[in-house]
Chain A
Amino acid sequence: MAESTTTNELRVRLVTPARTLVEAVAEAVELPAKNGYMEVLYGHAPLLSELGAGDVRMHGVRGENQAAEQIFNVNWGFVEVLPDRVTILANDALRPEEIDVNRANQQLDRGLKQWNEAGESEEAYDQALAVIAEAESKLATAQEKA
């Protein structure tokens, strides 16, 4: 890993509709982009991407009252990457300890039920898939923590 000096660090912001959740300086950020995870380091080319269900992981975070490693489960999001800055817009972001496993299980059941009942409708399948993906990513995050 590159040596961290004050110049090659990313300013990371995680913003949800209700409020700005995190504003910190980190060495690297892992993002659950729609077509696969990616990791962003300082100096990344400018990029816009949609995020799917998964974890945003921030490594080497510095700042007052900030843990060095931070994980947020996001359901849907949008990210702007600039060489020295990463801004993540997310519908909702949960820390692993905030995830309610029971509710996630219920959500998974609901998704599977929707999947079974979707019939011919492509729209319904997509919706069911989104629900399942969200529930599974929540469960995975929660399990890893446990």
Chain B
Amino acid sequence: MANVLDLRRRIRSVKNTRQITKAMKMVSAARLRRAQDRMAAARPYARMIASVLESLTRRIEIFDPETGNLRHPLFAAREEKRVLLIVVSGDRGFAGAFNANIVKAAVNFIDGGKGKQFDIESVGRKGRDLLRRRYPEARFSQGTDEQPAARQERRGPVELTGDHPGMLVKLEVDPVFELAQNIIARYIHEEIDAAYIVYNEFKSVIAQRVVVEKVLPLGKIGGQEVAGATEPSLEERERAAQAALTAGIPLEEADTKEADEEARKFGTANVDYIYEQPPEELFNALIPQYVASILYHAMTESVAAEHAARMTAMDSATNNASDMIDAYTLEMNRVRQAAITKEIIEIVSGAAAV
């Protein structure tokens, strides 16, 4: 049996761990709050872009009546043979099953599309590391002055074409916009037939789910086309609620309905607008912004969800450490008592023997 000194040492060690997990939880809570603010701040723009584009598609025929051509190639739906999947995960671990869940959703989605080819763009370091173990990376030939880098033959139906580590650490608009333009270019050049994004949606601390959302081709503007979603279990939800409560995070999102309504009116007033530019140009300008705003929105949500997941995980870890300390303290007291009792018995029986 362990002696008192051993147990005391172990208790001290667990106490140290508990301090660390507690600190990490509070840090995550603070980051979560900031991420939530950013999500709220980014909402008006996304809404406005979506509503003006939606109103344009309602007022202007998507097909040009004179030539019968599509106003923008991104409206064209093709048979899905080559699919691009953007996987948004976290950059760091210690967040419970956050990264594993996202990768699982991505893998399920890929396994569900038999006979299709998949290109993966991973955002976030953890997801990339996990996916890299499963799928080969795409190889590109060295680009020369006359000839840009070209893609070499595929090594399998699923390949990683790019990764964007660090994009989430300091989430900014420009890199996301570049990614969006890259995806659009690939769609227009028919390198891909569809684009999906996998990320952790964050409605509030207790309402989160991993979703696979369709990005291209553009379907209904402003609506979300979800191709698959994994809801958290009731137990997970309760744990998250508990963690949020102890960290002082409000469970429900602040009420932004009024601002949302306001944003939704953008470009939709019931009047005849003067269009400064021909509709094609407006579409050309707005659509990349719209796609970028979908991606940006997904990433802000994912960042918030990651912090929330870490907060929950660290809250559980702190609770577990407390339980462990209690158990060890009890055992230590028992061992000490046993030692004392044994000594007394020895003395008493020694005295009796005399």
Bound pair (A, B): yes
Residues of A within 8 A of B (CB): 15-20, 33-35, 45-50, 76, 78, 80, 82, 87, 89, 91-92
Q: How far is the CA of A92 from the CA of B281 in the complex (A)?
A: 20
A residues in contact with B96, CB < 8 Å: none
* Residue B243 lies at the interface, judged by CB distance under 8 Å to chain A: no
Q: Report the minimum CB–CB distance from B23 to chain A (whole Å).
A: 29
Q: How far is the CA of A15 from the CA of B267 in the complex (A)?
A: 14
A residues in contact with B266, CB < 8 Å: 80, 87, 89
* Residue B348 lies at the interface, judged by CB distance under 8 Å to chain A: no
Q: How far is the CA of A92 from the CA of B174 in the complex (A)?
A: 9
A residues in contact with B293, CB < 8 Å: 17
How many B residues, CB 8 Å from partner?
31
B282 touches A19 (CB 8 A): no
Contacts A17-B173, A19-B41: A46 and B272 contacting too (C-beta < 8 A)?
A: yes
A89 touches B269 (CB 8 A): no
Contacts A15-B45, A48-B282, A91-B177: A78 and B277 contacting too (C-beta < 8 A)?
A: no
A20 touches B285 (CB 8 A): no
* Residue B292 lies at the interface, judged by CB distance under 8 Å to chain A: yes
B277 touches A35 (CB 8 A): yes
Q: Report the minimum CB–CB distance from A26 to chain B (whole Å).
A: 18
Q: How far is the CA of A126 from the CA of B293 in the complex (A)?
A: 23
B residues in contact with A80, CB < 8 Å: 52, 266-267, 269, 273
Q: How far is the CA of A111 from the CA of B15 in the complex (A)?
A: 58
B residues in contact with A33, CB < 8 Å: 276
Q: Report the minimum CB–CB distance from A39 to chain B (whole Å).
A: 14
Q: How far is the CA of A82 from the CA of B273 in the complex (A)?
A: 9
B residues in contact with A34, CB < 8 Å: 276-277, 281
A residues in contact with B46, CB < 8 Å: 17
A15 touches B48 (CB 8 A): yes
Contacts A15-B45, A82-B269, A89-B49: A50 and B276 contacting too (C-beta < 8 A)?
A: yes
* Residue B186 lies at the interface, judged by CB distance under 8 Å to chain A: no
Complex partner residue of A18 from B38, B267, B285, CB under 8 angstroms: B38
| Among B52, B274, B276, residue most surrounded by chain A Cβ atoms (within 10 Å) | B276
B276 touches A17 (CB 8 A): no
* Residue B254 lies at the interface, judged by CB distance under 8 Å to chain A: no
A18 touches B42 (CB 8 A): yes
A45 touches B274 (CB 8 A): yes
Q: How far is the CA of A116 from the CA of B293 in the complex (A)?
A: 32
Contacts A91-B173, A92-B173: A46 and B269 contacting too (C-beta < 8 A)?
A: yes
Q: How far is the CA of A18 from the CA of B100 in the complex (A)?
A: 29
Contacts A49-B277, A92-B173: A76 and B285 contacting too (C-beta < 8 A)?
A: yes
A19 touches B42 (CB 8 A): yes
17 A/B residue pairs, CB under 8 Å, sorted by A: A15-B45, A15-B48, A18-B41, A18-B173, A20-B45, A46-B271, A48-B52, A48-B275, A50-B276, A50-B285, A78-B285, A78-B286, A87-B48, A89-B49, A91-B173, A91-B177, A92-B173
Q: How far is the CA of A91 from the CA of B173 in the complex (A)?
A: 8
Q: Report the minimum CB–CB distance from A80 to chain B (whole Å).
A: 5
* Residue B296 lies at the interface, judged by CB distance under 8 Å to chain A: yes
A46 touches B273 (CB 8 A): yes
A residues in contact with B275, CB < 8 Å: 47-49
B285 touches A48 (CB 8 A): no
| Among A35, A76, A87, A92, residue most surrounded by chain B Cβ atoms (within 10 Å) | A87
A residues in contact with B45, CB < 8 Å: 15-18, 20, 89
| Among A17, A33, A87, A92, residue most surrounded by chain B Cβ atoms (within 10 Å) | A17
Contacts A15-B48, A16-B45, A89-B48: A47 and B173 contacting too (C-beta < 8 A)?
A: no
Given contacts A17-B46, A47-B274, 8 further A-B contacts (CB under 8 A): A34-B277, A35-B277, A47-B273, A48-B52, A48-B282, A89-B45, A89-B266, A91-B289
Complex partner residue of B267 from A16, A48, A50, CB under 8 angstroms: A48
A15 touches B44 (CB 8 A): yes
A16 touches B285 (CB 8 A): no
Q: Report the minimum CB–CB distance from B54 to chain A (whole Å).
A: 13
Q: How far is the CA of A48 from the CA of B267 in the complex (A)?
A: 7
A50 touches B282 (CB 8 A): yes
